[in-house]
Amino acid sequence: MSATPFHVWRPRRWGGLLLGLVCVLLALPAAQAQRKVQVLTRTIEQTLACPTGTLVRIRAEKATLKVQGWDKPTVQVVLKLSARHPERAIAERELPAARYQIARKGTTIDLVNYFAVTPGMPPVRSDLRAEYLVMMPAGNPLEIINAYGQTELSDLTGRQLLTQDFGAVTLSNLRGSLEATVRYAELTGSNLNCAFICRADKSAVQLTGAGGTYAISNAYGSIVLEPSDELKSAFVDASRTEVTVGVPRLSSFNYHLTSNQGKLTIPASYTSKRTLTGRNLLEVTNDAKLPLIRVITSYAPITLQTQPLLVRP
């Protein structure tokens, strides 16, 4: 009787390859965890005399910028320049590409950050950033240009001029006057009582506790306006921009709302005052002495509503 041969199973070549691939995939998270981003930072601190009337002018790029007013006759600047890269040596070598200028000439103080590569050097691979904290006399004039960053203004009472391309703008507790040009940005403001001119494009504008005067334009964006009892007037001229107005009491203001080729949503008590003449129109005069809220938009809705009451303990 012949013996039956005993066969030992051996993995085929594709099985070995599959096992190797699984091992590689399992090792990836550990390898990625080891490639922690290295952050190198250079901090510049400087204080400059800033008499009444001195203009503070800021030109920022890829910067997080915070400007706050105070009662001292000086400008205090804390500027942090940073480079981020998984390899520390690369971040350290490329940090000098983040540059700055702080200078006073006549009645102007200039604060500038920018990024520049020395001729002949390879392109920058690090993530370069700048972060400002600027304390300045609240009533002095201020001019800002910031691209691809974030801007925060608070406690200012003078003339303010802002241009923001991309990024976000936060405004709080502002007085005086503010003229803002924002593109592809998100602008939010609270507790404002100023003369505010806003020229927006493809941006989201939201203003709460809005007192003072407002002239707002926007295209292909959105506007939310919640006035306070200190509002003097608000004029909104928009195109393809949804506009929402939330008032504490309907009787506090007069209204002129027009939506061309768009929906007009109003409280039930105002339904009889709406007219349809190829466009949605609402005109309400509660008292000739009251502030006027005028909104004109096209191909987008307008909503007038009362703000919800806050329940306080």
- Asked if the model's pLDDT at residue 5 lies above 70, the reply is no
Read off the tokens for 97. Answer: 């590409």
Predicted confidence at residue 173, as pLDDT, reads 98
194-242 pLDDT, tens per residue?
999 999 999 999 999 999 999 999 999 999 999 999 999 999 999 999 9
Whole-angstrom distance, CA of residue 168 vs CA of residue 117: 27
Q: Which tens digits make up the pLDDT trace of 237-262?
A: 999 999 999 999 999 999 999 999 89
Say what the pTM is.
0.84
Q: Name the band, by pLDDT with cuts 50, 70 and 90, for residue 313.
A: very low
- What is the average per-residue pLDDT within 49-74? 97
Q: What pLDDT score does 29 carry?
A: 52
Burial 245-261 (b: 16+ CB within 10 A, else e): bebeebebbbbebbbee
Answer for the pair 248, 268: CB distance below 8 angstroms, yes or no.
no
pLDDT digits (tens, 9 = 90+) for 64-107: 999 999 999 999 999 999 999 999 998 888 898 899 999 999 99
Quick check: 305 and 246 in contact, CB under 8 A? yes
C-alpha to C-alpha distance for 187 and 179, rounded to whole angstroms = 13
What average pLDDT does range 291-305 have in this prediction? 96
Strands (E), 71-203: 74-85, 98-105, 108-115, 127-137, 142-154, 159-174, 177-201
Percentage with pLDDT > 70 across the chain? 87
Give the pLDDT band of residue 308 (cuts 50, 70, 90). Answer: confident
The pLDDT value given to residue 30: 47
So what's the pLDDT on residue 11?
47
Position 283 confidence tier, pLDDT thresholds 50, 70, 90: very high
| 3-state DSSP assignment of residue 23 | helix
Residue with tokens 């041969």: 5
Residue 279's pLDDT is 74
**Higher per-residue confidence, 137 vs 28:** 137
